[in-house]
């Protein structure tokens, strides 16, 4: 009888979103492309991205809980073309947040912003750095930027300074770019971050230099 009770309790915890994962994930809530930070906190790993938000903020949903309508009274509006968008480790959510399970160390970022035309979708953002680079293979390509800067950035993402060989992600540092350039984009296989010389030095000195930013400075 006792093993059955233990099994039932374990099933109940998993069904409630406990997930039996050790560690924590981070929840961020911002407005206007990260310009205004409304909340930061942590939750147990193993929750879905929606559960993590609901555990920390006052939330209303639509479509049976699959779509976040409001956070702390701030409502999405089709007529005003403003809504809540979410990213996990800097990657735009491509499904309901109720279907995405957070792993230890993940960043569950919700941002309220306007959308029109091409700005509806933002596939990847830099503001969760060193995500989405950590945990994947990353090459840092340096063109004219001091080697010490390239090595410091490579260490932040557990990557390597190398020629542009086949890896999943690339961070390209170049004096040929505008000095303040911070451009991040999706590749077929991963992500590429382009940094001008001044931006590269900022990031090398402080991994949080671009925290909460979308990363669209050219």
In a domain, 2, yes or no: no
In a domain, 5, yes or no: no
Which runs of consecutive H residues, i.e. helices, occur in the chain? 2-15, 49-56, 147-156, 197-205
For residues 107 and 22, state if they share a domain. yes
In a domain, 133, yes or no: no
Condensed to tens digits (0 to 9), the pLDDT of residues 119-142 reads 788 999 999 999 999 989 999 999
For residues 19 and 115, state if they share a domain. yes
Identify the pLDDT of residue 164: 59
Distance between CA atoms of residues 126 and 146, nearest Å:
22
On average, the pLDDT of the chain sits at 89
Identify the pLDDT of residue 29: 98
Residue 25's nearest CA partner among 41, 40, 43, 52 is: 43
The number of domains in the chain is 2
For residues 74 and 105, state if they share a domain. yes
Distance between CA atoms of residues 141 and 122, nearest Å:
24
In a domain, 125, yes or no: no
Identify the pLDDT of residue 22: 86
For residues 19 and 116, state if they share a domain. yes
Its domain, for residue 98, covers 15-120
Identify the pLDDT of residue 173: 97
Give the global pTM. Answer: 0.87
Whether residue 87 has pLDDT greater than 60: yes
Condensed to tens digits (0 to 9), the pLDDT of residues 162-205 reads 865 668 899 999 999 999 999 999 998 899 999 999 999 999 99
Number of helices and strands in the chain (H, E):
4, 14
More confident residue, 140 or 12: 140
Identify the pLDDT of residue 20: 57
Whether residue 41 has pLDDT greater than 70: yes
The CA–CA distances, whole Å, from 61 to 37, 50, 162 equal 22, 10, 46
Distance between CA atoms of residues 158 and 177, nearest Å:
24
């Amino acid at each position: 009888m006792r093993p059955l009770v233990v099994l039932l309790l374990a099933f109940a915890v998993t069904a409630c979103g406990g997930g039996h994962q050790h560690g924590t994930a981070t929840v961020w809530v911002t407005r206007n492309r990260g310009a205004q930070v409304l909340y930061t906190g942590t939750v147990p790993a193993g929750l879905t991205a929606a559960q993590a938000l609901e555990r920390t903020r006052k939330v209303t949903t639509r479509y049976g809980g699959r779509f976040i309508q409001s956070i702390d009274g701030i409502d999405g509006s089709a007529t005003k073309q403003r809504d809540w968008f979410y990213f996990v480790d800097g990657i735009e959510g491509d499904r309901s947040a109720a279907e995405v399970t957070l792993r230890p160390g993940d960043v569950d970022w919700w941002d309220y912003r306007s959308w029109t035309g091409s700005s509806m979708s933002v596939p990847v953002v830099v503001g969760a750095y060193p995500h989405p680079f950590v945990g994947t293979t990353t090459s840092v390509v340096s063109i004219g930027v001091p080697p010490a800067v390239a090595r410091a950035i490579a260490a932040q993402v557990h990557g390597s300074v190398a020629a542009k060989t086949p890896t999943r992600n690339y961070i390209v540092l170049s004096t040929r770019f505008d000095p303040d350039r911070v451009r991040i984009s999706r590749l077929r296989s991963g992500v590429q971050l382009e940094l001008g010389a001044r931006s590269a030095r900022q990031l090398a000195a402080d991994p949080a230099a671009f925290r909460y930013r979308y990363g669209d400075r050219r």
